[in-house]
Amino acid sequence: MSRKRIVWMALWVISAVAIAACTARSAKAPVASGDAQPATVKANTDLLKELPFDDQQDFEDAQRGFIATLPDLVITTADGKEAWNLAQYDFLKQKEAPPTVNPSLWRLAQLNLNNGLFQVVDRVYQIRGFDASNMTIIEGDTGLILIDPLVSLETSKAGLELYYQERGQRPVVAVIYTHSHLDHYAGVKGVVSEAEVQAGKVQVIAPDRFLESAVSENVLAGMAMSRRAQYMFGMTLPRSVRGQVDIGVGKAISEGSYTLIPPTDTILKTGDTRTVDGVEMVFQLSPDTEAPAEMMIYFPQFKMFDSAELACATLHNVLTLRGAQARDAKQWAYYLNEALDLFGDKTEVIIAQHNWPHWGQENVVNFLKGQRDVYKFIHDQTLRLANLGYTMNEIAEMIVLPKSLSQEWYLRGNYGTVSHDVKAVYQKYLGWYDSNPSNLNPLPPAETAKKAVEYMGGPEAVMVKARQDFEKGEYRWVAQVMNQVVFAYPDNVEARNLLADTLDQLGYQAESASWRNEYLTGAYELRNGADPGDGSGGSASPDSLKAMTMPMFFDYMGVRLNGPKAEGKRIVINWNFSDVGEQYLINLENSALTYLVNRQAAQPDATVTMTRATFDRIAIGETTFPKAILSGEIKIDGNSLKFLDLLGMMDTFKGGFNIVTP
C-alpha cells in the first residue's frame, strides 16, 4: 500500500465519529423529555451522600494556571457553520445538579467546562475546552512542539492563535500524535501546513502503526459506527439539563474540518528518545490499549509525564459503546505499571490529552496506581467469576469496585463504566455466547417481542403492569419489557412514549455521560423518529471511495455485495489500472467476492481497463461507470454485461437506520 493512498484513506476514515458529528439535526420541533420522577430524584440525592463531593481539589487543578480564553468560545468554519460552541453549556454554571442529571456527572461536566490557555509548568501549556481533547504546547529553544492538535482545523487554529495572543508568535517545529483516534490528530492543518512538513520545517512524530490504525480501525463497519456514535455522544440532543451535558472526556466533538498529515518520524519501541528544539522526550509505547497505536511520553527537564489517554479523569472504555474491537484491559494495566516503574519516582506533574493535570509526585504515583489497579481488578475479577461459571451479564451485576478505588473521582464511571467494561473483558476472552443452548439461536428481536408480548397477555396488559413498575422506579425492567412491546407493535404511540419516559429516567440517573447520551437519544428518537439523513455520509461518501486503495475498495465491495442477489452467479473480472500499473483478479462465486493482487485470469468474463484517475472521478460523483464506458474512459474486453451485473449487486448504505424500533 502506497504512503499516499494510506494518507488519503485516513482522511476518509478519519473516523466514523467525525462523520456522525457532521450530520444534520431534524428541523421539526422535537417532543421534549419528561421530569425526573421521585425514584430518580431519590437515586441522585442518595449519591450525594456516598461520594466525597466536599473534595474540591479537582476544581483547583482544573483552573490552575489559567491565562486567558475566548469570549463565549464560539468557533466557526469558513462558511459560517459552528464548529464549536461552549456558550450553549451556560446552564452548567448553576452550582447544584438539577434532578435530571446525576450529581457525579454534573460535577465532571462543570469541570470540563473550564476552557482556554493554561500553564502546566514553565514552558508547558495546554489548550483545554476548545474541543473533545487537549492540545499541549511546549516551548522549545526557538519554536513550539504541539501534542495532539484537537479534532478540527478550526478549533486547533483558534487555540494556537490564543497562545500567540498571550505568549507571542513562535514557529511550530514539531507535532506529536499520541495515538490513532481522530481527536488527537485531525486538527493538524490548523497549526501547520503540509508544505511546511514536506519542506522539513516541521517534524510529525507518531507511534508505530499509527497510519494503518488511523485508516483501518473503522473502515468496514464505518456506517454502523457512525450511527452508533450519535447515541454515545448525544449528537442530536439539545444541550440542556434534560439533554446532553458532556461526553466524559470533554464537552463534545467539534464539527469542523478534519485533516491529517502523515508522520515523518515513527517511535518503534519503549525507551526511544528524541530531542527536538532542545526538549528531550522519552517515549513509552502502549499499543492495543485505549487505541491500537498509542504512546505515552516523559519529559525529563520538566519532570512531566504525558499519559495520552491511558489515564484521564474518569474510568475509560474497555469497549466503546459506538463499537470497536474490545481493548486489552490486562495490557492497559501493564503499561501503566511500566510507566510507574520507569517514571513514577521522577515525575512531579502528569498531564493527559483529555481533562486536567495532577501535580505533586505523591499525587502522580497514587493516580497512576489507581488507574493501573482499576483495569487489572476489572480484568481479573471478570475472569475469576467466568471461571466459576457465571455469565457476562451476571458478572456485570456482581463486580463492585473496592472502596479504595470507587471513592477516587478519577475512577468514577463518568465515561466508561464497570458494567460495560466487565462485559468487554468477557467478550474479548469468551465472545457473545454464554454456553446456554437456549441462547445459542434465539429468535430475532421483532419475532421474540411478538411472542413475548403474546405470552404476557398483549400490549395493553403489559403496559398496565409496566406503568405500575414505572411508579415504583423499576426502570431497568420497564425498559426491557416495553422494548418488547415497541418491537412487537412499533406503531403503538402509547408504548413508545412509555418507553421514552423510562429511558429519560435511566438517563437522568446515569453517572456515565455515554450512558446518559445513549438513553436520552433513544428517548428522543422514540418520540420524534430517527432522521433518515443522520449519518448518511457514513463510510460510503464519495471522498471515502476516492481515498481507498484498490484492495480496500474491493474489500468494501465485498461488504456491499447483496448475497441473495448474487445467488447462483459466477463472474470473473480482470481489472487493470493503466496509469499506476496495478492489476487485480476479481472473482464472484458462492455469493462471496474475492480478489487477488497482481493476478489475471486466463479466461475472464471481462477485462476492465481504466485509469485510477477515472476511478477517482467515479468515486466523487463526477461521472459513472456507464458514462465512463460510453466515453471510452473505461475499456471492456469480453462480456460488459457481466461487469455491469456485478455492479448492480452492490447495496448502498444509508444512515438513520432504526435502533430503538424494528
Cα torsion 121, 125, 129, 132: sign? negative
C-alpha cell at 527: 418520540
pLDDT score for 336:
98
C-alpha cell at 629: 464506458
pLDDT score for 618:
83
Q: In what order do the strands lie in the sheet with 349-351?
A: 273-276, 279-285, 295-299, 304-306, 349-351, 358-359
pLDDT score for 214:
83
pLDDT score for 3:
52
* Burial environment of residue 120 by CB neighbours within 10 A (0 to 12, 13 to 18, 19 or more): buried
What CA–CA distances, in Å, run from 219 to 16, 474, 545? 8, 39, 11
Residue 264 near residue 184, CB atoms below 8 Å: no
pLDDT score for 653:
82
Residue 552 near residue 265, CB atoms below 8 Å: no
Query: What is the spatial distance between Cα 234 and Cα 515, in angstroms, rounded to a whole number?
Result: 10
Residue 136 near residue 174, CB atoms below 8 Å: no
pLDDT score for 531:
81
C-alpha cell at 8: 488519503
Query: What is the spatial distance between Cα 138 and Cα 357, in angstroms, rounded to a whole number?
Result: 15
Neighbour tally for 193: CB within 10 Å: 15
Q: What secondary structure letter does DSSP report for 202?
A: S
pLDDT score for 20:
46
pLDDT tens column, 106-142: 999 999 999 999 999 999 999 999 999 999 999 999 9
Neighbour tally for 161: CB within 10 Å: 14
Query: What is the spatial distance between Cα 512 and Cα 248, in angstroms, rounded to a whole number?
Result: 7
Query: What is the spatial distance between Cα 315 and Cα 249, in angstroms, rounded to a whole number?
Result: 10
- Which helix (H) or strand (E) is 556 found in, with range? helix 550-560
Q: Give the closest residue to 212 by CA, choosing from 184, 179, 186.
A: 179
| Residue ranges in the chain modelled with pLDDT below 70 | 1-29, 217-219, 533-548
Domains annotated on the chain, with CATH: 439-528 (1.25.40.880), 549-648 (3.30.1050.10)
Query: What is the spatial distance between Cα 246 and Cα 517, in angstroms, rounded to a whole number?
Result: 9
